[in-house]
Amino acid sequence: MLTKLQKEQLVKELKEQMDQSKVVVMANFHGLTIGDMSDLKKEIREAGGRMQVIKKTLVNIALKERGIDFDTRKFAGPLVFIFGPEETAIPRKIWGFSRKNENLKVEGGILLCLPAGRQDEIVAKSDIEALAKLPSKEELLGKIVSTIQEPVSGFVNVLAGPVRSFVQVMKAIAEK
């Protein structure tokens, strides 16, 4: 049994974890083996996230102090809270793991807004699935770079065309 001081410390740590995260995914882990939990924790850690089993009432207190009106007790069974520094990596890992192991059931999540003036948003299970299907920030940046690069490389090829043709004609003449 935790003392009041220990609970206050847990709530403080939870709020700090939320301040450093952009997404929190809530999942029911009833039925997962210890090995499954270890595998999940390893995948979460590889994605830069943190997984924690916390009492729902303590999470509710931390959410309330952050200004989020949400009651995690509406979910039946034990919940694991997964904190992620990026909006898509953690949902992708969780969703993929839940597809392989039906005992992990994604219940929903919270998008935490780091910029001041924006409100955190409670998201449903379907929104977590949508986040999981989005490309990562690095993939999007790569697509933007290739989109910008395509017209430039096409223009260079157009400009190089006459020079290339001239060189080929000169080479053909030299070979005769």
| Euclidean distance between CA atoms 154 and 102, whole angstroms | 49
- Residue 52 · residue 83 · CB < 8 Å: yes
Minimum mean pLDDT range among 62-66, 137-141, 146-150, 155-159: 155-159
Report in angstroms the alpha-carbon separations of 160 from 41, 153, 155, 168, 173. 53, 10, 9, 12, 20
Whether the full predicted model's pTM is greater than 0.85, yes or no, is no
For 25-37, what is the mean pLDDT? Answer: 92
> Tell me, what's the pLDDT at 35?
93
Compute CA distances 74 → 26, 39, 158, whole Å.
12, 27, 63
Average pLDDT taken over every residue of the chain: 86
* pLDDT of amino acid 46: 92
C-alpha span between 10 and 145 (Å, rounded): 43
Per-residue confidence band for 133, with pLDDT thresholds at 50, 70 and 90? confident
Q: Is 114 a residue whose pLDDT tops 70?
A: no
